[in-house]
Amino acid sequence: MFVHLTAAGNVRSIRRSGIRAAGYGQGGARGVYCFPVLPSYTLTHQWLRELARFGGQGRMVAVHVRLDDDQDVLVGRYSDRRRDAQAAVPAAEAVRRIAALDDPRGWEVFVPRAIRPRELHRIRAVPQVAGWRYKPDAHGTRPCTCFGCQVRGEYGGRRLRERLPHPLDGPPPPPRMLLARIAAAGDPGDPAVLREALDWFGRRRRGPLAELTRLAAHPDPGVREDLVWAVAGWSTPGVAGLLDELADDPDQDVREAVEAVRETS
């Protein structure tokens, strides 16, 4: 028996059609995240507060799912997913491994397919205060309010940023200033200066793509990788073509960056 945590607004469609494969696991596989039902209620629902942090979720519910013992799943800590280090095992083995851990916080099970309606056991309300936030043992640690750690629409986010302002808070430099810094960096350009400018460009919805395409040939692979992340979210015409070019980059980190942004787009 596993539990899948989701917004209460999804209950009607789940009862009708099951749980769709909306999650992304290691290697780009699509499926459903869940966790074994353990004797500890807190550990079973440990992911609730973290999932509820993301805007638009609303009240969360627990969907209990019964899987066959030999159903293939992936099991491991959430950090293992980034390194493709989660283990592929039968569902029964995943439960055994997690139940045997002294501290199973941060572990997860990924079912690489949708959950069928006949596999649903029950759906019930749960207290909205179960589990950890940010990461296990984060209580007592100063939260980070940088651009990368902020969650848009998070409850209490504005008050947190006002209480703990980050050094990089505030509006980004205008594009003309950033382009001037890139030009002053020389040719091919100081990697540190270029990467800082690309980081600022990555916070925008559109940007001067034509002026940045030359960086796709920069000798420093870090600059080329940061170029991928900078333009990934832009609606500027030509972004897809630039990513196609960088998808064949000789550096593996650059190629993996292109693959990652395409999986999440």
Q: Which residues have a Cβ under 8 Å from the Cβ of 197 and sit 6 or more positions away?
A: 178, 181, 182, 185
Instruction: Name the residue type at position 20.
Output: R
Over the stretch 204-226, which tens digit does the pLDDT of each residue have? 889 999 999 999 999 999 999 99
Domain ranges of the chain: 2-125, 143-170, 175-264
Chain-centre distance of CA 50, in angstroms? Answer: 12
Mean pLDDT of 68-77: 95
**pLDDT at res. 97:** 97
Of the candidates 154, 55, 48, 156, which has an alpha carbon nearest to the alpha carbon of residue 105? 48
* Gap between the Cα atoms of 12 and 17, Å rounded: 9
* Gap between the Cα atoms of 57 and 9, Å rounded: 8
**pLDDT at res. 52:** 83
Is the pLDDT at 236 greater than 90? The verdict is: yes
Dihedral (C-alpha) 74, 252, 231, 178: value to the nearest 10 degrees?
130
Average pLDDT over the chain, rounded to whole? 88
Burial group, residue 39, by CB count within 10 angstroms (0-12, 13-18, 19+): exposed
**pLDDT at res. 55:** 53
Assigned CATH class of 175-264 = mainly alpha
Q: By the 8 A CB rule, do 110 and 33 touch?
A: yes
| % of the chain surpassing 70 pLDDT | 90
pTM assigned to the model: 0.58
| Banded pLDDT at 128 (limits 50, 70, 90) | confident
Greater pLDDT, 133 or 101: 101
Is the pLDDT at 57 greater than 80? The verdict is: no
| Banded pLDDT at 130 (limits 50, 70, 90) | confident
Q: Which residues have a Cβ under 8 Å from the Cβ of 75 and sit 6 or more positions away?
A: 86, 87, 89, 93, 94, 97, 98, 107, 108, 109, 110
Least confident of 25-39, 52-66, 107-121, 236-250: 52-66
Q: By the 8 A CB rule, do 227 and 212 touch?
A: yes
Helix then strand then coil, in percent of the chain rounded to 5, is: 40, 15, 45
Mean pLDDT of 57-69: 91
**pLDDT at res. 260:** 86
Taking each helix axis from N to C terminus, what angle separates 239-246 and 252-264, rounded to the nearest 10 degrees? Answer: 140
* Gap between the Cα atoms of 194 and 201, Å rounded: 10
Over the stretch 144-199, which tens digit does the pLDDT of each residue have? 777 666 666 666 777 877 777 776 666 678 999 999 999 999 999 999 999 999 99
Mean pLDDT of 105-115: 95
